[in-house]
Amino acid sequence: MICDDVITLVAETPEAHGIFEPISETGTQVFCRVDSVARSEYWRARANGLEPRYVFTLSEAADYHGEKVALWNGQRFRILRTYVRGHAIELTVAEATVDAAPTIVTSTATVTTATSGEEENDGGQT
């Protein structure tokens, strides 16, 4: 897989002791491939009130640590869904708004091998 773009995954951490304290953000840059969301996925999500925009595919699922926000081309995106495929992970994102609370859904891929017919769980985020 060719990962020819860079996104910044943003980890948010509450400061100090109170719930009204500001949130600090730490960014980690990772290489990825950027694709449009498939039409069928877009319309299914839209029926549930979501507007997915892009799919960022990271070649290594280990690069993702549950971040809820990604930055790309000067835009802020909230991560709607993750999908693990082998060692890679897909992050489906929507444009973030100031009021938007992140919604995270994680899943793993199950692969059926052609030779044995046995199913293997590729592991990943749940």
- Gap between the Cα atoms of 116 and 33, Å rounded: 31
pLDDT at 20: 65
The pLDDT tens digits of the residues spanning 6-27 come to 999 999 877 666 666 667 888 9
pLDDT at 49: 85
**Overall number of domains in the chain:** 1
In a domain, 51, yes or no: yes
In a domain, 126, yes or no: no
In a domain, 102, yes or no: yes
In a domain, 54, yes or no: yes
Q: Any idea which residue has 């897909």 for tokens?
A: 90
In a domain, 29, yes or no: yes
In a domain, 9, yes or no: yes
The pLDDT tens digits of the residues spanning 90-116 come to 999 999 875 544 444 444 444 433 444
In a domain, 115, yes or no: yes
Q: Which of 3-17, 42-56, 65-79 has the lowest mean pLDDT?
A: 3-17
**C-alpha radius of gyration, the chain, whole number:** 16
- Gap between the Cα atoms of 116 and 64, Å rounded: 31
CA 47 to chain centre: 20
Q: Which of 27-31, 40-44, 64-68 has the lowest mean pLDDT?
A: 40-44
Q: Which CATH number belongs to the domain containing residue 71 in this structure?
A: 2.40.10.270
Domain range enclosing 116: 5-121
CA atoms within 13 A on the CB side of 125: 21
pTM of the full predicted structure? Answer: 0.70
